[in-house]
Amino acid sequence: MALHEKGRAALKREDYSLALVNYLEADEKFSTCTSELLKCVDNYALLHLDIAWCYLCLGNVSQIPDAEKRLKECENKFHQSYGTNMERLLDIKGSTENHLTME
């Protein structure tokens, strides 16, 4: 997660190349985690989203297939983390009000 945070810091500075390097390295580390752990957190979903965003900001047309794959994976990970209808979030927090504003 430290690499993901380094990537976010680089993204805020609009250093998309450095952000992407950090994100891709974070992706390698996340991929070694157990799938049960990754189902419980949304960090991996956000990482996929951030990588796709970097591709867009860099105008990296050759990575469109990877960006598409990552966006689909992001959606799948959000469904795993929160449930298809946010039911897991409801179980944990009792309300989805703050999270629904993101949609």
Domains observed in the chain: 2-100 (1.25.40)
What does each C-alpha distance from 48 to 4, 39, 45, 91 come to in angstroms? 10, 14, 5, 25
CA angle 25, 33, 49 (to 5 degrees): 50
pLDDT at 38 over 70: no
Tokens read off for 98: 């703050």
pLDDT of residue 33: 79
Per-residue model confidence as pLDDT tens digits over 2-16: 898 999 999 999 999
Q: Are 45 and 81 in contact (CB under 8 A)?
A: yes
pLDDT tens-digit map of 41-66? 778 899 999 999 999 999 999 999 99
Residue closest to 4 by CA, chosen among 59, 39, 45: 45
Q: Look at residue 82 in the predicted model and tell me its pLDDT.
A: 77
